[in-house]
């Protein structure tokens, strides 16, 4: 029982109070995100981030005790933006018929992730201690809670027995993974819209919804994504 992996300190050292300091702080975090997005986690060195942010290296260490804390804050920042956008989209679809709502929600999720494609890719595939960052767990818990409450509302509306917690957990997890996969490694032979439609269908069928006889021909689909191949 010799060497286990050490858990790094992830909390910021101190919060900026003056306006000038807040600008510095933001500049550092945003520079971090840019480096992550453009050059990957291995290139995320403290010197490089400070230089890109236009601040001295020592200023960076005023606010972050070490590189890991900086990384954690960058991740939190990106995640915040993503959840905010997702939350705004959620407002717009409450009350729609379930089938359209599902497609719209998935489309919003896809769009939000796609807009941050590069940085999200690096975060989920390269940051070694991603699951030790509190914000990540919180985001997961939030989405799971949302899924559960949707399940409850839906079950009550349809007067059907609700799905088990395990099933909801699975569906939420799988949906997130599918969207991530579709964005990060888009399969050559399916368009995003096709994938989202298929995904909505799978989820609805898995939750016991009627298989929904093919809907009317697309009168120009709701633009959820940019076009792929021409």
Q: Is residue 1 part of the contact set for DNA (CB under 7 A)?
A: no
Binding segment toward DNA, per CB under 7 A, in 17-25, 76-84, 153-161, 206-214: 17-25
Which residue matches tokens 């949906």? 175
Helices 117-126, 98-115: axis angle to 10 degrees equals 80
Q: Beta-carbon neighbour count of residue 1 at 10 Å?
A: 3
Answer yes or no whether residue 186 interacts with a second copy by CB under 8 A: no
Looking at beta carbons only, is 22 or 167 nearer to a second copy? 167
The token pair that represents 202 in the structure block: 């799978």
- The answer to whether 163 and 150 are in contact (CB under 8 A) is no
Total length of the chain: 230
Please provide residue 183's backbone torsions phi and psi, each rounded to the nearest 5 degrees.
-80, -45
Task: By CB under 8 A, name the one of 30, 51, 85, 194 that touches a second copy.
Answer: 194
Residue from 100, 177, 212, 222 in contact with a second copy (CB under 8 A): 177
Site for DNA in 21-60 (CB under 7 A): 21, 23-25, 43-48, 55-59
Minimum separation from the CB atom of position 27 to a second copy (A) = 20
Q: Which stretch binds a second copy (CB under 8 A): 18-26, 93-101, 151-159, 190-198?
A: 190-198
Name the nearest CA neighbour of 181 among 229, 77, 109, 132: 109
Nearer residue to DNA within complex by CB, 39 or 148: 39
Q: Which of 22, 45, 138, 164 binds a second copy (CB under 8 A)?
A: 164
Partner from DNA, a second copy, none binding residue 211, C-beta < 5-8 Å depending on class: a second copy
Rounded to 5 degrees, what angle do the CA atoms 132, 8, 120 make?
A: 45
Q: Considering only 15-23, 96-104, 117-125, 146-154, which stretch makes contact with DNA by CB under 7 A?
A: 15-23
Piece of the chain touching a second copy by CB under 8 A; list 71-79, 80-88, 92-100, 191-199: 191-199
> At 223, is the secondary structure helix, strand, or coil?
coil
At a CB cut-off of 8 Å and minimum separation 6, what does 190 contact?
A: 198
Supply the DSSP string of 33-63, one letter for each residue. Answer: HHHHHHH-GGG--HHHHHHHHTS-HHHHHHH
| Site membership for a second copy, residue 199 (CB under 8 A) | yes
Provide the binding-site residues for a second copy, judged by CB under 8 A: 3, 5, 38-42, 124-128, 130-131, 164-167, 169-171, 173-175, 177-178, 181, 185, 187, 189-190, 194-195, 197-199, 201-202, 205-206, 208, 211
């Amino acid at each position: 029982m010799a060497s286990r992996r050490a858990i790094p300190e992830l909390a910021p050292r101190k919060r900026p109070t003056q306006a000038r300091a807040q600008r510095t702080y933001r500049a550092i975090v945003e520079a971090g995100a840019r480096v992550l997005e453009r050059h990957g986690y291995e290139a995320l060195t403290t010197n490089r981030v400070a230089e890109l942010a236009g601040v001295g290296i020592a200023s960076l260490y005023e606010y972050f005790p070490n590189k890991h804390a900086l990384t954690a804050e960058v991740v939190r920042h990106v995640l915040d933006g993503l959840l905010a956008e997702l939350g705004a989209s959620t407002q717009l679809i409450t009350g729609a018929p379930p089938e359209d709502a599902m497609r719209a929600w998935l489309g919003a999720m896809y769009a939000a992730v796609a807009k941050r494609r590069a940085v999200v890719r690096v975060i989920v595939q390269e940051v070694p201690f991603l699951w030790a960052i509190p914000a990540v767990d919180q985001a997961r818990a939030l989405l799971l809670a949302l899924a559960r409450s949707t399940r409850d509302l839906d079950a009550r509306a349809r007067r059907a027995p609700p799905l088990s917690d395990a099933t909801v957990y699975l569906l939420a997890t799988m949906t997130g993974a599918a969207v991530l996969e579709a964005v990060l490694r888009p399969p050559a032979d399916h368009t995003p819209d096709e994938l989202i439609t298929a995904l909505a269908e799978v989820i609805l069928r898995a939750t016991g919804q009627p298989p929904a006889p093919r809907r009317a021909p697309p009168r120009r689909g709701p633009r959820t994504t940019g076009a792929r191949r021409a």
